[in-house]
Structure 1
Amino acid sequence: MDINFELYKIFYITAKLGSISKAAKELFTSQPAVSQSIKLLEGKLGGQLFYRTPKGVCLTVEGEVLFKYIEQGYGLMQTAERKFLELKNLNIGQVRIAVCSALCKHYLMKYLEEYNLNYPNIKIYIKDMASHEILKSLNSGEIDIGIFNMHIETNSSIEIVKTFKIQDCFVVGDKYKDITKEQIDLKKLIDNYPILLLGKGGNTREYLDNYFTSNGVTVVPQMELSNMELLIESAKKGFGVSNVIKDYVQKELEEKELYEVSIKEKIPERSLGIAIKKDIPMSTATQKFIEVIKK
C-alpha cells in the first residue's frame, strides 16, 4: 500500500493534539487541508480514524491501534534527525583508525591531541595492525583511516591522503658504543654482535628481512621483541644492537643514552601512507580528522 508519509504525520499530530484546528496551527496549514488529508488517509486505509467530540476529535479503536505504531515510527524519525544533526555538528561521532603501535605513539599522537582538543565529544578507536591487515580492513569498511607501509600493493579504491618518510637505523647503548666510531660492514655487524629485532609477522620485520637478503646476509636475532619501546630499552641495557626508527630515538641519541651504528649498506627509507576508502562516504568526524592531518 503506497501512502504518502506526510499523511501519517498529519494523522499523528492531529491525534496527539486531539484537535484539527490545533493540528493546522502546528503544521502551518489550514483546517480544511488537515481534514482533507485525514479523509484521504481514511480512504486509503479503508476505515474511520477519528470521531468528533465537543472538544475536538478522538481516535476510533482502529485509530488507536494505528496511532500506537505511528507514534513509535515518528519518534524514531525525530531521534534519527536529532542524531544526524549531532553527528554533523560533531556533538557525537567516532573515528576508527588502524596503525602500528610505534607509529601511534611517535607520529599519530600529535594529531590525536589536536583533534581531541577541538572535538572532545568524538570517540577515537585505534587498532594496532600490520599493514596488510590495515588495507584489508579499509577495503571492508571496518576502519575509517589506515596508516601503513607503502611498499605493499594497494588498489584503485584506496586514496592516499598524505605520505611521510621514516628511516630505520641500528643503535646501541654504552656497552657497544665503540662500534659507532667508524663505519662497519653489515655482515661484520651481524656476525659479531647480538642483533635485536621486532618479531616476525609485521611489515617492519618483513622490510628488514628483505634488506638483509638483498645484501646477502642471514640474521638469527638474539632477541625478537614485540614493540619498538622494548627494542630501545634493550639497547640501552646493553643487550645488543637494536633496529629502530631513527625519528623515535632522537632524544636518546642527543642525550647519549643511545648511539647510532654507521652501516656501509644504508637501510633505504620507507614511505608510509595515510589512507581512506574512496567509495565509502566519510563521516563529518572522519573528514575533520583528515583536515587535521593535512595541515
Structure 2
Amino acid sequence: MDINFELYKVFYHVARHLNFSEAAQQLFISQSAVSQSIKLLEEKLSCRLFIRHTKQVRLTQEGEALFRHIEQAYHFIKSGEKHIHQIHSLQEGEVRIGASDTICKYYLLPFIRQFHRQYPKIRIHITNRTSPVCIELLKKGIVDLAVVNLPEESLEPSLHVHQLAKVQYAFVAGDAFIDLQGREISIKELEGYPILTLEKNTTTRSLLDAFLLQHNTAITPEIEISSVDLLLEFAKIGLGISFVMEDSLRDMLSMDELFRLNIRETLPQRNLGVLSPANLPVPIAASRFLELLMK
C-alpha cells in the first residue's frame, strides 16, 4: 500500500488534538487542506478514521488502532531528527582515527587534547597500528581518518592525501658509544655497530632499508621491535644505535641521555599525512578533526 507520509502526518496531528482547526495551525496549512488529507487517507485505507460532530471529533476503533502505531513512528522520526541535529552540532558522535603509537605520542597528542577541549561530548576512538595497516583500515571503512607516514609510491585514487609535516630521522646512541659523539661518520661505518630498528612491516623500517641499499650498506639489525619508546630505552642502556624519528628524541636529548650521530650522508625524510576517503563523505566529527590538523 503506497500512501504518502504527509497524510499520516496530518492524521497524527488531528488524532493528537482531536481538532481539525488546531491541527491546521500546527501544520501551517488550511483547515480545508486538513479535511481533504483525512478524506484521502480514509479512502486509501477503506475505513473511517474519525467521527465528526459539529464541535467534536473522536477516533473510530480503526482510527485508535492506527494512531497507536503512527504516534510511535512519529516519535521515532522526531528522535532521529534530534539525533542528526546533535551529530551536526557536535553534541554527540565519534571520530575514528588510525595511527601508529609513535605518531599518536609525538604528533597527534596536542591535536587530540585540543579537539577534546572543543568537543568534549565527541568520543575519540584511536586504533594503533602501523601506517600500512592503518591505510588498509581506512579503505575498509574501519577508521574515518588515517594519520600515517606516507609511502613513497602513489596511493590509489580512492584516498585523499593531505600532507601535514616533514618527518626527519636520526641515529641515536647512549654513553656506551660516546666515542662517536661529535665525530662525522659515514653510514658505511655503522656496519660494524649493533643497530636497533623497528620491525620490517613499518614505514620507518622500509625507509631505512631503502636508504641503506642506496648507499650500498649492509646492516643486519641486532634488535627489531615494534616500539619506538623501547628503541630509545635500549639505546640509552647501551644495547646499540637506534634509528628513530627526531620528534621522539626531544626529552632524552635535552637530558643528555642520548646523543644524535653526525652522519655524513643526508638521512631520509618522510612526509606525514592524513588520509580520508575520496569517494565517501567524511563524518562531521572527523571533518572537524581534519580541519584542526590542517590549520
Question: Please, what TM-score do these two structures have when normalized by structure 2?
Answer: 0.92
SS of 2:276's partner is strand
Give the AA of the match of 1:32. Answer: S
Q: C-alpha separation between the residues in 2 aligned to 1:144 and 1:56?
A: 56
Deviation (angstroms), 1:194: 1.7
Q: C-alpha separation between the residues in 2 aligned to 1:273 and 1:224?
A: 25
Give the AA of the match of 1:234. Answer: F
Residue by residue over 1:184-237, the C-alpha shift from the partner in whole angstroms, topping out at 9 and shown as x without a partner, is 23232222x221111222221122122222222332222222211111111111
Given that 2:24 and 2:34 are in contact with CA atoms closer than 8 Å, whether structure 1 keeps it comes out as: yes
In structure 2, the residue matched to 1:264 is 264
- Higher deviation after alignment, 238-247 or 128-137: 128-137
In structure 1, the residue matched to 2:249 is 249
Deviation (angstroms), 1:59: 2.6
Structure 1's unaligned 5+ residue stretches are none
Question: Please, what TM-score do these two structures have when normalized by structure 1?
Answer: 0.92
Deviation (angstroms), 1:272: 1.8
Alignment of 1:154-173 (within 5 A): 154-173=155-174
Residue by residue over 1:20-68, the C-alpha shift from the partner in whole angstroms, topping out at 9 and shown as x without a partner, is 2332332233433322211111111211112236873333232233223
In structure 2, the residue matched to 1:23 is 23
Q: C-alpha separation between the residues in 2 aligned to 1:260 and 1:11?
A: 76
Given that 2:185 and 2:264 are in contact with CA atoms closer than 8 Å, whether structure 1 keeps it comes out as: yes
Q: C-alpha separation between the residues in 2 aligned to 1:55 and 1:200?
A: 83
Q: C-alpha separation between the residues in 2 aligned to 1:216 and 1:124?
A: 44
Q: C-alpha separation between the residues in 1 aligned to 2:88 and 2:107?
A: 28
CA RMSD in angstroms, aligned pairs only: 1.9
Q: C-alpha separation between the residues in 2 aligned to 1:21 and 1:227?
A: 71
Alignment of 1:107-126 (within 5 A): 107-126=107-126
Alignment of 1:55-204 (within 5 A): 56-150=56-150, 151-191=152-192, 193-204=193-204
Given that 2:19 and 2:57 are in contact with CA atoms closer than 8 Å, whether structure 1 keeps it comes out as: yes
Q: C-alpha separation between the residues in 2 aligned to 1:22 and 1:73?
A: 21
Q: C-alpha separation between the residues in 1 aligned to 2:184 and 2:82?
A: 65
Q: C-alpha separation between the residues in 2 aligned to 1:152 and 1:128?
A: 23
SS of 1:58's partner is strand
Give the AA of the match of 2:21. Answer: S
SS of 1:167's partner is strand
SS of 1:164's partner is strand
Residue by residue over 1:243-291, the C-alpha shift from the partner in whole angstroms, topping out at 9 and shown as x without a partner, is 1111220232232111111223332111121121122112222222122
Q: C-alpha separation between the residues in 2 aligned to 1:123 and 1:97?
A: 11
Identity within the alignment, %:
39
- Higher deviation after alignment, 18-27 or 37-46: 18-27
SS of 2:263's partner is coil
Q: C-alpha separation between the residues in 2 aligned to 1:57 and 1:200?
A: 77
Given that 1:141 and 1:280 are in contact with CA atoms closer than 8 Å, whether structure 2 keeps it comes out as: no
Q: C-alpha separation between the residues in 2 aligned to 1:131 and 1:105?
A: 14
Given that 2:163 and 2:271 are in contact with CA atoms closer than 8 Å, whether structure 1 keeps it comes out as: no
Query: Hey, which bits of structure 1, 4+ residues long, moved more than 4 A?
Result: none
SS of 1:148's partner is strand
Given that 1:132 and 1:152 are in contact with CA atoms closer than 8 Å, whether structure 2 keeps it comes out as: no
Q: C-alpha separation between the residues in 1 aligned to 2:48 and 2:178?
A: 93
Structure 2's unaligned 5+ residue stretches are none
SS of 1:201's partner is coil
In structure 2, the residue matched to 1:222 is 222
Give the AA of the match of 1:179. Answer: L
Give the AA of the match of 1:4. Answer: N
